[in-house]
């Protein structure tokens, strides 16, 4: 049984169906619309009562301008520009800070704020609302410690709202109060207090800066005096000519330059004479010929050597020419040879003299180079010492200049700050004062009503889905197939009867007999077809129609189903097996006695007491017979479970194409068990929206435990819109069957005319 019943309901499967079709949601709302409507009415009424009972509240706003650039009063203020968002957020927070609000109360010229917020009672500018009021009362009850009375500035802050205007530097200071005068007065007082606070803060900052600059000026003045004293002491310590090094070349540097130039020249000369001196030494030592000295530039350029060299060259050429012309013995050639030898002798003497001169000059250059090197070294030391003193002097002088400049800057800034510390200049200004409001801002009656309706609608929808989830009755085919796990064979729509039209039960029980072309009759025909195809061909000869609870419409279904089987050309016997509360005879207008009980007890032949129903024949075939319950018996269960009852049922099954038994409810009487055991099929009738799933599952299990073959379930008394969420407009749209009825009526009229 637990396996059949599954979960409690699971609205995701029962009410929603697969795929979350929107029609299934609409079906839930359609079924639960009374609850939704009641919730909307109640919540909207409460919202209206609450809205109209609230005290009107007036709102006033003063507008401030908070510039990112501080107004430039002096050149010193040019760097005070703020670009980051944190600065703006900080200013917004300062508007509702304690200092600003206390300043607003103290500096109020009319003393209205002082009288309002320093009284014995707490003042609330804004209506805290229902939820906030309830929460405050709960906190007071739950808190053991006594609540502290808020200070005046705290009461004032509760009613002040700061709202920046998007994409601007404007800020609105808004206040709401039951009194329009108080609202505008508080907004203007807070805005002015913030402007004055900003001015005071800037003046205070300027005063602090001035005091700091005064202290720095005294310190800098001492530092400048000390630097000047150090410079004077150093000037007295060193010589005056040496101080001129800071302004240009001195005698020391000029002499050092001159010595350097002379040393360089002597050094170049000594290097040039070095090679000539070595050649002379080799010649004097006999290592080289004396004539080899002609290869030395300094000797070759000697005037005597140069002249003799020219003469030798000239005479040598003349002697060569004479020999070639006249021969070597010619007197002129001999004279020229003699002349050439004299010149060579003179040349050797001139070379020795030139060599001595080169050696002497080389020695002089070396000595002079050493002298200049010593003088240059001494002069360099003097120059370095002078440069060191000049550098110290320049350092001390620059220190004095630097200290003087810093002192001048401090004095200049002190003058600038002294000008700004008393000036009422700030980057905050009140651009628009709050006027006295004439129309209250709250309560907004239209919005309150709209919110009440929307809230009621949301609560109503939530309640609808909650009720749908709690509702575990069998309402639709998914409930049968998923929860009960038996086939769904069809449904019977709610059969409505006109008021004063006789017994309503009788009209419903014989509806298919009296209204063959209606959509309700078509529902029974659909059930008949489903029963026919649910069993093998001609295998279903007996069928028990029962229910889980009383008043579920099993007799109505059994009677109308028997009529539809008979009109299908089959011989049908309808047996009223409900011996405790028989209703078949009443529905068809037949006598109750004799009947089934009389056949079993008195051993009568069934065909002797079977009653025929006229007009239930299709093309001359089929027919409907009825076997009523018969006389009252004290033991219906034992009677139906007896051997004689089984023999009677077998005999009836052989005589008719199908025997339909109207059995008692399965859970309220044991009579249905023997009938289900002996018949080939059991049809369970459930009233849609009334029978619980667990109850239906118990009934099915009880029937199956005795060997009953539950072939399916029929949902009875289905309201027109109940299945619309599952099958569009339902299995049997009323429009379709209206045309069907008109077509049937037209065909009958043509037959009569023919």
Per-residue pLDDT reduced to its tens digit, 278-317: 667 666 655 555 666 666 666 766 777 778 777 777 878 8
Q: Kindly indicate the confidence band of residue 728, based on its pLDDT and cuts at 50, 70 and 90.
A: very low
Name 750's Cβ contacts closer than 8 Å, sequence gap at least 6: none
Query: Could you tell me which residues are beta bridge partners of residue 626?
Result: 574, 611
Mean pLDDT value across residues 49-55: 79
Backbone phi, psi, residue 149, to 5°: -70, 125
- Distance of alpha carbon 563 from alpha carbon 43, whole angstroms: 52
CATH class of residue range 488-719 = alpha beta
- Distance of alpha carbon 280 from alpha carbon 296, whole angstroms: 9
Per-residue pLDDT reduced to its tens digit, 705-719: 888 888 888 888 887
Q: Kindly indicate the confidence band of residue 242, based on its pLDDT and cuts at 50, 70 and 90.
A: very low
Mean pLDDT value across residues 121-143: 58
- Distance of alpha carbon 144 from alpha carbon 95, whole angstroms: 34
Sheet containing 710-718: give its strands across.
Answer: 488-493, 710-718, 681-687, 542-547, 658-662, 571-576, 623-627, 611-613
Mean pLDDT value across residues 442-454: 81
Longest dimension (CA), the chain: 208
Instruction: List the structure tokens of 90.
Output: 């900080």
Per-residue pLDDT reduced to its tens digit, 561-614: 988 888 888 889 999 988 888 888 888 888 888 888 888 888 778 888 888 887
- Distance of alpha carbon 137 from alpha carbon 115, whole angstroms: 26
pLDDT of amino acid 70: 56
- HSE (CB half, 13 Å, CA atoms) of 385? 11
pLDDT of amino acid 292: 62
The runs of H, that is alpha helices, within 67-179 are 85-95, 98-106, 112-117, 129-142, 152-158
* pLDDT of 553 strictly over 50: yes
- Distance of alpha carbon 529 from alpha carbon 568, whole angstroms: 10
Instruction: List the structure tokens of 147.
Output: 């609540």
pLDDT of amino acid 19: 42
Which helix (DSSP H) or strand (DSSP E) does residue 362 occupy?
A: helix 331-420
CA angle at 129 for the pair 125 and 132, rounded to the nearest 5°: 100
pLDDT of amino acid 172: 93
Mean pLDDT value across residues 32-56: 83
pLDDT of amino acid 199: 84
Running DSSP on this structure, what letter comes out for residue 202?
Answer: H
Q: What is the mean pLDDT of the chain?
A: 76
pLDDT of amino acid 730: 42
pLDDT of amino acid 614: 79
- HSE (CB half, 13 Å, CA atoms) of 153? 15
Q: Which residue has the higher pLDDT, 457 or 244?
A: 457
Per-residue pLDDT reduced to its tens digit, 657-669: 899 999 999 888 7
Helix and strand numbers, DSSP H then E, in the chain: 30, 12
pLDDT of amino acid 754: 44
pLDDT > 90: what percent of the chain? 5
Mean pLDDT value across residues 430-451: 83
Q: Which residue has the higher pLDDT, 652 or 536?
A: 652
Query: Could you tell me which residues are beta bridge partners of residue 177?
Result: 58
Burial readout 390-429 (b: 16 or more C-beta within 10 A, e: otherwise): beebeebbebbeebeeebeebeebbebbeebbeeeebbbe
Per-residue pLDDT reduced to its tens digit, 539-548: 788 999 999 8
Instruction: List the structure tokens of 122.
Output: 């707490």
- Distance of alpha carbon 261 from alpha carbon 696, whole angstroms: 132
Nearest residue to 196 via CA among 125, 110, 108: 108
pLDDT of amino acid 285: 57
Structural domain boundaries of the chain?
2-50+443-469, 56-191+425-432, 251-390, 488-719
Mean pLDDT value across residues 206-234: 82
Per-residue pLDDT reduced to its tens digit, 489-519: 888 888 776 544 447 788 787 777 777 777 7
Q: Which residue has the higher pLDDT, 32 or 171?
A: 171
């Amino acid at each position: 049984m637990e396996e059949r019943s599954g979960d409690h309901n699971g609205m995701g499967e029962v009410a929603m169906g697969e795929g979350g079709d929107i029609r299934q949601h609409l079906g839930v709302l359609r079924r639960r619309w009374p609850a939704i409507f009641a919730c909307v009415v109640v919540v909207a009424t409460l919202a209206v009562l609450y809205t109209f009972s609230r005290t009107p509240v007036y709102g006033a706003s003063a507008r401030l301008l908070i510039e990112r650039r501080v107004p430039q009063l002096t050149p010193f203020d040019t760097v005070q520009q703020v670009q980051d968002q944190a600065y703006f957020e900080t200013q917004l927070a300062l508007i509702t800070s304690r200092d600003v609000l206390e300043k607003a109360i103290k500096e109020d010229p009319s003393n209205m704020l002082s009288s309002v917020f320093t009284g014995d009672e707490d003042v609330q500018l804004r209506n805290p609302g229902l939820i906030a009021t309830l929460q405050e009362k709960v906190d007071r009850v739950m808190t053991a410690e006594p609540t502290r009375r808020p200070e005046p500035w705290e009461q004032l802050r509760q009613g002040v709202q700061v709202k920046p205007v998007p994409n601007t530097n404007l800020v609105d200071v808004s206040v709401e109060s039951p009194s329009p005068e108080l609202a505008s007065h508080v907004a203007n007082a807070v805005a002015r207090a913030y402007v004055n606070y900003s001015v005071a803060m800037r003046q205070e900052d300027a005063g602090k800066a001035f005091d700091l600059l005064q202290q720095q000026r005294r310190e800098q003045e001492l530092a400048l005096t000390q630097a000047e004293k150090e410079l004077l002491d150093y000037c007295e310590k060193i010589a005056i000519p040496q101080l001129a090094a800071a302004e240009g070349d001195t005698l020391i540097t000029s002499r050092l330059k001159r010595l350097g130039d002379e040393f360089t020249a002597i050094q170049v000369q000594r290097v040039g004479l070095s090679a000539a001196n070595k050649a002379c030494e080799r010649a004097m030592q006999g290592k080289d010929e004396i004539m080899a000295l002609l290869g030395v530039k300094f000797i070759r350029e000697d005037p005597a050597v140069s002249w003799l060299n020219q003469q030798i060259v000239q005479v040598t050429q003349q002697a060569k020419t004479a020999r070639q012309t006249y021969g070597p013995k010619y007197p002129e050639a001999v004279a020229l040879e003699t002349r050439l030898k004299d010149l060579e002798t003179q040349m050797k003497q001139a070379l020795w003299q030139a060599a001595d001169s080169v050696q002497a000059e080389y020695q002089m250059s070396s000595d002079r180079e050493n002298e200049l090197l010593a003088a240059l070294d001494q002069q360099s030391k003097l120059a370095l010492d002078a440069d060191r003193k000049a550098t110290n002097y320049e350092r001390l002088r620059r220190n004095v200049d630097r200290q003087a400049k810093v002192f001048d800057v401090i004095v200049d800034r002190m003058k600038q700050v002294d000008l700004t510390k008393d000036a009422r200049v700030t980057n905050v200004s009140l651009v628009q004062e709050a006027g006295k409001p004439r129309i209250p801002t709250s309560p907004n009656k239209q919005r309150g009503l709209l919110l009440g309706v929307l809230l009621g609608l949301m609560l109503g929808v939530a309640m609808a889905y909650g009720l749908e989830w709690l509702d575990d009755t069998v309402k639709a085919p998914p409930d049968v197939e998923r929860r009960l796990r038996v086939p769904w064979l069809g449904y019977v729509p709610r059969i409505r009867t006109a008021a004063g039209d006789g017994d309503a039960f009788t009209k419903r029980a014989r509806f298919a007999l009296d209204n063959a072309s209606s959509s309700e009759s078509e529902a029974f025909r659909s059930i008949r077809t489903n029963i026919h195809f649910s069993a093998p061909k001609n295998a279903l000869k007996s069928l028990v129609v029962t229910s889980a609870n009383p008043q579920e419409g099993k007799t109505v279904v059994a009677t109308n189903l028997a009529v539809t089987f008979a009109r299908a050309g089959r011989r049908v016997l309808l047996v009223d097996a409900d011996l405790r509360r028989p209703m078949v005879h009443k529905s068809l207008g037949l006598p109750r006695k004799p009947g089934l009980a009389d056949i079993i007890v008195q051993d009568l032949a069934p065909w002797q007491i079977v009653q025929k129903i006229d007009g239930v024949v299709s093309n001359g075939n089929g027919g409907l017979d009825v076997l009523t319950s018969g006389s009252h018996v004290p033991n219906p269960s034992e009677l139906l479970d007896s051997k004689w009852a089984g023999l009677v049922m077998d005999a009836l099954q052989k005589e008719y194409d199908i025997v339909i038994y109207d059995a008692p409810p399965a859970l309220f009487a044991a009579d249905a068990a023997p009938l289900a055991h002996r018949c080939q099929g059991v049809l369970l009738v459930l009233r849609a929206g009334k029978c619980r799933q667990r109850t239906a599952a118990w009934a099915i299990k009880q029937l199956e435990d005795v060997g009953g073959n539950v072939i399916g379930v029929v949902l009875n008394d289905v309201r027109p819109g109940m299945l619309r969420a599952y099958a569009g407009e339902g299995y049997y749209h009323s429009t379709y069957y209206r045309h069907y009825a008109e077509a049937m009526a037209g065909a009958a009229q043509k037959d009569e005319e023919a």
